[in-house]
Amino acid sequence: MSKGTVVLAYSGGLDTSCILVWLKEEGYDVITFLANIGQEEDFDAAKKKAESLGAKKVFIEDLRAEFVEEFIWPSVQASAIYEDRYLLGTSVARPCIARRQIQIARQEGAQYVSHGATGKGNDQIRFELTCYALYPEVKVSSVFPSPSSHAPADLYLMTKSPEDAPNSPDVLEIEFKKGVPIKVTHIKEGKSKDTPLDIFSYLNEIGGRHGVGRIDIVENRFIGMKSRGIYETPGGTILYHAHLDIETFTLDREVRRIKQGLGVKFAEMLYNGFWYSPECEFVRHCIDKSQESVDGKVQLSVFKGQVYILGRESPKSLYNEELVSMDVQGDYDPCDASGFIKINAVRLREHHRLQGEHRSKH
Amino acid sequence: MSKGTVVLAYSGGLDTSCILVWLKEEGYDVITFLANIGQEEDFDAAKKKAESLGAKKVFIEDLRAEFVEEFIWPSVQASAIYEDRYLLGTSVARPCIARRQIQIARQEGAQYVSHGATGKGNDQIRFELTCYALYPEVKVSSVFPSPSSHAPADLYLMTKSPEDAPNSPDVLEIEFKKGVPIKVTHIKEGKSKDTPLDIFSYLNEIGGRHGVGRIDIVENRFIGMKSRGIYETPGGTILYHAHLDIETFTLDREVRRIKQGLGVKFAEMLYNGFWYSPECEFVRHCIDKSQESVDGKVQLSVFKGQVYILGRESPKSLYNEELVSMDVQGDYDPCDASGFIKINAVRLREHHRLQGEHRSKH
Amino acid sequence: MSKGTVVLAYSGGLDTSCILVWLKEEGYDVITFLANIGQEEDFDAAKKKAESLGAKKVFIEDLRAEFVEEFIWPSVQASAIYEDRYLLGTSVARPCIARRQIQIARQEGAQYVSHGATGKGNDQIRFELTCYALYPEVKVSSVFPSPSSHAPADLYLMTKSPEDAPNSPDVLEIEFKKGVPIKVTHIKEGKSKDTPLDIFSYLNEIGGRHGVGRIDIVENRFIGMKSRGIYETPGGTILYHAHLDIETFTLDREVRRIKQGLGVKFAEMLYNGFWYSPECEFVRHCIDKSQESVDGKVQLSVFKGQVYILGRESPKSLYNEELVSMDVQGDYDPCDASGFIKINAVRLREHHRLQGEHRSKH
Amino acid sequence: MSKGTVVLAYSGGLDTSCILVWLKEEGYDVITFLANIGQEEDFDAAKKKAESLGAKKVFIEDLRAEFVEEFIWPSVQASAIYEDRYLLGTSVARPCIARRQIQIARQEGAQYVSHGATGKGNDQIRFELTCYALYPEVKVSSVFPSPSSHAPADLYLMTKSPEDAPNSPDVLEIEFKKGVPIKVTHIKEGKSKDTPLDIFSYLNEIGGRHGVGRIDIVENRFIGMKSRGIYETPGGTILYHAHLDIETFTLDREVRRIKQGLGVKFAEMLYNGFWYSPECEFVRHCIDKSQESVDGKVQLSVFKGQVYILGRESPKSLYNEELVSMDVQGDYDPCDASGFIKINAVRLREHHRLQGEHRSKH
């Protein structure tokens, strides 16, 4: 008699195949689930392998469109970046995959979920927190088979080395609406893309060709250790720069400042696996609200590992060329600036006087 | 009879020459002051011009060493960056120059200071706030002569275009002590520099050669307008990346998080002209304290406008390769991770249950 | 011929009467405006005086209901408190009054507004920023007549001294919906109020009777000086405590933490006069969003200057008595706590080891 | 043969006595440790009981002076308050007690420590995190004997009910130096105290007599549950108010604002058990630095559960009565305020214009 049903996040690789076998030996029915979020993978082979190892059912699901729209786009709006460098590409995949796995578990009446994320990694936490949040009664079966010596987990698969990148740039225009890209155009070739998945895939392709978005860092994990991470985020890096530019152009300074603080918090939640938490829902709502006026187009060039902003335009810009120009004063009176400065100096002068008094006394 | 003495920040250019003449006509004695903070300038010609226009005294001072050590180094420690992009190169020069000008004013018994910064710019504020803070009784004579049509203020003087940059990288090693660079070595050439001024000049040279640190942005000024800024900070950009890397490597995660927030505040103070304020003194002290363990060496390559971190080492690193490795468990028990995750999930599960209850009721 | 029309915020007192006369002498048509936001005032007498001094029109408007609903309620949601003590009662009145004044100015075709707030006060800033924000082309005519020696501006008008307060408490129950009070009931007397204005007036009455909400502080003004402020906020103080209690009871910990930071920012904006700013609109939206689940009832007693929380209940509480109890473990496993602690200790232990190494080496 | 030595935090009560017996039965040598941090306790009886139950050694230590000076004083400087209400009295005792316990364990060569804190409480976390931080190799033996039904843990022991408090206030003057109380004087009685322990004990006595500092709250625990807490902090409450007053009086506005943010973080660390962490050390250092000018005297009255500030004086105050007065203008020019306001309004007016344009277009 079966001990119950487990939905296993299955990759087709050695580790999760071992887990599959082990779970069956322990007496569980095993349903495997493999998500397509854009990675290179032989999905057919994985299906066959799972079946041959005794999986009761095999789910292979294309989550690419929802991954881009529901998970990557909010991260772009947030300018989400962990510890000033990591664009959270792998972190953001986890809640998307686990959400679907939980839907399958509920629909198939499975009480258990399992995965192959190792015991020290952030991915275990991201996976399990999502499961508990969305299916509080679920039981997580964490199996840690003695890992086979495997090839380094992280290689650059999407990006060329900047040194081998083309000697001339590609110039793009990205159009944003409410802080989200709605169209990308290759200026010279006239080609353009306008669905979330197409836009993101195209930016990955262009960024990859020019070696954009590689980092080799030491980062602080949620569990308190430092560890080395090697990442490539070609499309994400282009979007980060383009969004930052259009945002500064269109957003009020003080709104941006508050939103910047919320973005830092959002990045930490995302990194630590709290996408499905009340605070992350709240912060996503606030960030989305902040982006209402972030509309416009950014022109940029991608070249030898770098993204260069060339220009920007917006129907909603707060940038007023006339007001800023030195020649046209409008209703700006230089005298006001003096008053502004003197009032700002009141506090500084008092501070200095007080310090001076104390210095002269002692 | 003289109306009093003015110390004028004099550049030798048309604007400040006009101010000089105008101040004399108004009946002031004028002392001119020109600071060398590393810019390209014909200091002799400026001296002669000031004298020929009737300056009572002419001060030309080399502030380069103190500029690097007392103003740039603390900004490096802080990872000071305004609105996520601008490294504050020109902002940080202002308090350095104005401090010396105030010293001259006090020493020469001058009641007035003057400058040529225009009425809408941040530089006027930075200049005047420093003057009031350090010499509360001073009178600032702001003169805004009708500006001659002049060449664009900001051209790239220090950096080549990345497209014209060499086709092979320069590889450097930078050594830090308490978050401050103490030595830079060109790995292939074996050349090294070890005074603050030499280090910074050398990084400007290498960065400039490879087109590092150019930005063309729209930024939010203190006075509430958006304006375009074109900046180049080759050495500063290299230091920003190298420091960020060694800091993440050596600093505790939570200390770094708090320090990151202080750094954002510091950048705003710096941008807005509040270097000499009680809050900026306080924050500089705290940031300096945070850097006590930021010691080590970073290897990096500079190439086509980009800085690539190649590696890092430190006697004080919290990075424990053994602890992090999957194979050696040490006293790390995977079971603990499960407990850690379950406790973190308590709140999420309760939240979900409560929402579920409400959904099912209504 | 008239120089134009001014809408003057008129109190009926000596200062604004002088301004009225002066404006007329200068050749302006003057419309006076007096808002009733709940203060003790002889509105009829003020009307007659304005007319007798030559006001072209006299507006006297009852803004009490909109003041409570649109300005005080959001401040209650925010737990708005400046420098940890001041509940911002007077600050929050300013944008409400100035908004109506601007509406009158637009409707009457007036290009000017004026007021009697003195040149050093926060109220001038609050008033004028609101005017500029809502009517960017308006001209503010700031007149500073040499102030007559007047009685101290702030006396305790609403509150008894706690020493003279009754020797037995009043016990109230306040019901909240989305962080806003919707009903107050006097438990013993069975009396209850359920419109915003009635609720707030009643809490002022009860709080005033028991001497609640008096403070005598030194505060930091926006213009950089410290100044003494004497305030009484009886109803606001009761609401502050009751709201804090129901909020902590119903809000997720982490949402509350973020909201707390936003509340501090909101209080500063309010104090400094930025109610009508993009950042304040944004923050009010976010805070309002955070309050979606802040529903429930708080029982409290008011006695001798103090508010004591007696209990609370809520249909949406995250407080789970079963879960919290030591006897019923539910799915809470003490072993998880050990894992949780050990993982949290990883970072601390590494830190200590590293320090120990350095100590033993040097 | 002994399995090793355990140092047990022993209270003399039933729970820790059971643990003692159980540990001995398991084969451990047990050393008991009981700290005196000011609680009511029969230390002699506890000693005898421990010996009779087979403790190998019994340590009873008076930690009161170091508790006040090294743990409470920094919390006063920080204005440490958790979730806006809880003054962290019990939280701050934990690291003090555990530190001494670890010293004993090291000195006695014990590899184990144990305690009676229950598995769901914050106290377990605070205790164990301190142990791991100070003695990374230690093993914590958490024993959770089925708890006997015991009386409610928290009763008001130190404070009278405000209703039963005296009908006339006590008036005190507290003198601060660098944000720390150095003397308290009873104005009428002329009595004064000037050591940390005496000051704190005296304030507990006075506050207790007047029913100051009782709260009955629901709080958010570190492990993610909400739980009810009943606390009394009479002396701490008086110090909180007095310190807040002298701090606002003497500290620069912007320094205080930054310090306020650090204080919130400090309170969370303290609550969650991270006193001995790199971030808490760092924050304590920064807060201590911020207090350099917090010198002066505060007069206050304690009455019926409340603390009323009556006045304050300081040699270092930034409060300049002349500057603030309306009659003496000094070098304050009302015109400057207009300039200050207009510049602050630039952003608001642009925002409004842009919104207006969009409204009129669509």
Instruction: Please report residues of B whose CB lies closer than 8 A to that of C318.
Output: 350-351, 354
d(CA C33, CA C246): 39
Higher pLDDT, residue B124 or A358: B124
In chain C, which residue's Cα lies nearest the Cα of A251?
Answer: C278
Same domain, A189 and A92: no
Tell me the H-state helices in chain D: 14-25, 43-52, 64-66, 73-78, 89-108, 122-134, 196-209, 234-250, 253-272, 278-290, 321-324, 334-361
pLDDT at B119: 54
B94-133 residues touching A, CB cutoff 8 A? 118-120, 124-125, 128-129, 132-133
Tell whether C347 is within 8 A of chain B (Cβ).
yes
d(CA B32, CA B19): 11
Edge to edge, the sheet with strand A57-62 lists A57-62, A29-36, A5-9, A112-115, A139-142
Assess contact for A87 and A231: CB atoms under 8 A: yes
Partners of residue C306 on adjacent β-strands: C303
Same domain, C218 and C305: yes
Assess contact for B174 and B298: CB atoms under 8 A: yes
In chain A, which residue's Cα lies nearest the Cα of D314?
Answer: A354
Same domain, C109 and C17: yes
In chain A, which residue's Cα lies nearest the Cα of D347?
Answer: A252
* pLDDT beyond 50 at A326: no
The CATH number covering residue C125 comes to 3.40.50.620
pLDDT at A353: 82
Same domain, A204 and A115: no
Number of domains composing chain B: 2
What size, in residues, is chain D? 362
Contact B225 D350 (CB under 8 A): yes
d(CA A216, CA B312): 11
Mean per-residue pLDDT, C306-322: 83
- Kindly state whether residue A65 falls inside one of the protein's structural domains: yes
Using one digit for the tens of pLDDT, what is the confidence trace for B215-274? Answer: 999 999 999 989 988 999 999 999 999 999 999 999 999 999 999 999 999 999 999 999
d(CA C346, CA A229): 19
- pTM as predicted: 0.94
Interface test mutation site (partner C, options A282, A289, A291, max chain C beta carbons within 10 A): A282
- Kindly state whether residue B282 falls inside one of the protein's structural domains: no
Mean per-residue pLDDT, A311-332: 66
Assess contact for A357 and A351: CB atoms under 8 A: no
Tell whether D333 is within 8 A of chain B (Cβ).
no
In chain A, which residue's Cα lies nearest the Cα of D320?
Answer: A350
Of C218, C260, C334, the CB nearest to D144: C334
Using one digit for the tens of pLDDT, what is the confidence trace for C191-217? Answer: 999 999 999 999 999 999 999 999 999
Using one digit for the tens of pLDDT, what is the confidence trace for C324-340? Answer: 554 444 556 778 888 99
Residue C346, min C-alpha distance to chain A (Å)? 6
Assess contact for A4 and A112: CB atoms under 8 A: yes
Contact A303 B305 (CB under 8 A): yes
pLDDT at D322: 59
Instruction: Please report residues of C whose CB lies closer than 8 A to that of D217.
Output: 245, 248, 309
Using one digit for the tens of pLDDT, what is the confidence trace for A163-221? Answer: 999 999 999 999 999 999 999 999 999 999 999 999 999 999 999 999 999 999 999 99
pLDDT at A256: 97
Tell whether B321 is within 8 A of chain C (Cβ).
no
Contact A343 D346 (CB under 8 A): no
Assess contact for A316 and A176: CB atoms under 8 A: no
A63-82 residues touching B, CB cutoff 8 A? 79
> In whole angstroms, how far apart are CA D179 and each of A184, A361, D239, D287?
58, 22, 10, 10
CA angle, D204 as apex, D299 and D33 as ends, to 5°? 145
Tell whether A1 is within 8 A of chain C (Cβ).
no
The number of CA neighbours under 13 Å toward the Cβ of B320 is 20
d(CA D94, CA D180): 21
Contact C162 D306 (CB under 8 A): yes
Same domain, C56 and C15: yes
Same domain, D17 and D128: yes
- Kindly state whether residue B154 falls inside one of the protein's structural domains: no
Assess contact for D71 and D96: CB atoms under 8 A: yes
pLDDT at A334: 74
D243-262 residues touching A, CB cutoff 8 A? 252-254
The CATH number covering residue C308 comes to 3.90.1260.10
User: Domain of C103?
Assistant: 5-142
pLDDT at C329: 47
Instruction: Please report residues of D whose CB lies closer than 8 A to that of B225.
Output: 346-347, 350
- Going by the DSSP 8-state scheme, the letter that residue C164 receives in this structure is G
**Contacts with A207 (C-beta within 8 Å, 6 or more apart), sequence order:** A159, A213, A234, A235, A237, A238, A302, A307
* pLDDT beyond 80 at B314: yes
d(CA D75, CA D296): 18
Residue D258, min C-alpha distance to chain A (Å)? 15
Mean per-residue pLDDT, B320-346: 72
Burial class (CB in 10 A: 0-12, 13-18, 19+), C179: buried
Tokens 């009302």 correspond to: D334
Contact D254 B289 (CB under 8 A): no
Mean per-residue pLDDT, B98-107: 97
Can you give chain A as a three-state secondary structure string?
CCCCEEEEECCCCHHHHHHHHHHHHCCCEEEEEEEECCCCCCHHHHHHHHHHCCCCEEEEEECHHHHHHHHHHHHHHHCCCECCCECCHHHHHHHHHHHHHHHHHHHCCCCEEEECCCCCCHHHHHHHHHHHHHCCCCEEEECCCCCCCCCCCCCCCCCCCHHHCCCCCEEEEEEEECCEEEEEEECCCCCEECCHHHHHHHHHHHHHHCCCCEEEEEEECCCCCEEEEEEECHHHHHHHHHHHHHHHHHCCHHHHHHHHHHHHHHHHHHHHCCCCCHHHHHHHHHHHHHCCCCCEEEEEEEECCEEEEEEEECCCCCCCHHHHCCCCCCCCCHHHHHHHHHHHHHHHHHHHHHHHHHHHHC
- Kindly state whether residue B326 falls inside one of the protein's structural domains: no
Q: What are phi and psi of D112, to 5 degrees?
A: -120, 150
Partners of residue D314 on adjacent β-strands: none
Interface confidence (ipTM) of the complex: 0.93
* pLDDT beyond 70 at C320: no
- Would you list the DSSP string of C41-63? --HHHHHHHHHHTT-SEEEEEE-
Average pLDDT of the residues of chain A: 91
Q: Which of C88, C274, C87, B254 is nearest to D272 (CA)?
A: B254
Instruction: Please report residues of B whose CB lies closer than 8 A to that of A132.
Output: 341-342, 345, 348-349
Say what percent of chain C tops pLDDT 70.
90
Local mean pLDDT, 10-residue blocks, chain D (362 residues): 93 92 95 94 95 97 97 97 94 96 97 83 91 95 59 71 94 98 97 97 97 95 91 97 97 97 97 97 98 97 96 81 52 80 92 73 48
Contact C323 B350 (CB under 8 A): yes
Same domain, C97 and C31: yes
d(CA D179, CA D314): 12
Assess contact for C239 and C184: CB atoms under 8 A: no
> In whole angstroms, how far apart are CA B105 and each of B101, B112, B139, C319, C321?
6, 7, 11, 66, 71
Same domain, B33 and B74: yes
Instruction: Please report residues of A whose CB lies closer than 8 A to that of D254.
Output: 347
Partners of residue B82 on adjacent β-strands: B86
Same domain, D136 and D183: no
Instruction: Please report residues of A whose CB lies closer than 8 A to that of D335.
Output: 335, 339
d(CA C142, CA B236): 47
Burial class (CB in 10 A: 0-12, 13-18, 19+), C356: exposed
d(CA D223, CA B347): 8
Contact D245 C129 (CB under 8 A): no
> In whole angstroms, how far apart are CA C83 and each of C221, C260, C267, C359, D244?
11, 13, 9, 42, 9
Contact A347 D254 (CB under 8 A): yes
Tell whether A326 is within 8 A of chain C (Cβ).
no
d(CA C81, CA C266): 9
Contact C224 A254 (CB under 8 A): no
* pLDDT beyond 90 at C155: no
Say what percent of chain A tops pLDDT 70.
90
Higher pLDDT, residue D331 or C56: C56
Q: Worst-scoring range by mean pLDDT, B51-55, B284-288, C76-80, C139-143?
A: C139-143
Instruction: Please report residues of A whose CB lies closer than 8 A to that of C343.
Output: 223-224
Instruction: Please report residues of B whose CB lies closer than 8 A to that of A354.
Output: none
Partners of residue C258 on adjacent β-strands: none
Strands B139-142 and B170-177: unpaired
- Kindly state whether residue B202 falls inside one of the protein's structural domains: yes
Same domain, C85 and C181: no
- Kindly state whether residue D67 falls inside one of the protein's structural domains: yes
- Kindly state whether residue C283 falls inside one of the protein's structural domains: no
pLDDT at B354: 81
d(CA A262, CA C255): 12
Using one digit for the tens of pLDDT, what is the confidence trace for A241-256? Answer: 999 999 999 999 999 9
CA angle, D192 as apex, D189 and D196 as ends, to 5°? 150
Average pLDDT of the residues of chain C: 91
Instruction: Please report residues of C whose CB lies closer than 8 A to that of A283.
Output: 258
Instruction: Please report residues of B whose CB lies closer than 8 A to that of C295.
Output: none
- Would you list the DSSP string of D124-135? HHHHHHHHHHH-
Contact D347 A323 (CB under 8 A): no
Burial class (CB in 10 A: 0-12, 13-18, 19+), D182: middle
Is the dihedral angle over the CA atoms A114, A116, A121, A127 positive or is it negative?
A: negative
d(CA A88, CA A157): 17
* pLDDT beyond 60 at C362: no
d(CA B295, CA D346): 45
Residue C30, min C-alpha distance to chain A (Å)? 25
* pLDDT beyond 60 at B149: no
* pLDDT beyond 90 at A356: no
Q: Worst-scoring range by mean pLDDT, B26-30, B143-147, C251-255?
A: B143-147
d(CA A196, CA D338): 49
Same domain, D61 and D110: yes
Using one digit for the tens of pLDDT, what is the confidence trace for A40-70? Answer: 889 999 999 999 999 999 999 999 999 999 9
d(CA D270, CA D84): 14
Structure-block tokens of residue C260: 């707390």
Same domain, C69 and C135: yes
Assess contact for C94 and C37: CB atoms under 8 A: no
- Kindly state whether residue B165 falls inside one of the protein's structural domains: no
Instruction: Please report residues of C whose CB lies closer than 8 A to that of A279.
Output: 252, 254-255, 257-258
Structure-block tokens of residue D196: 């940390």
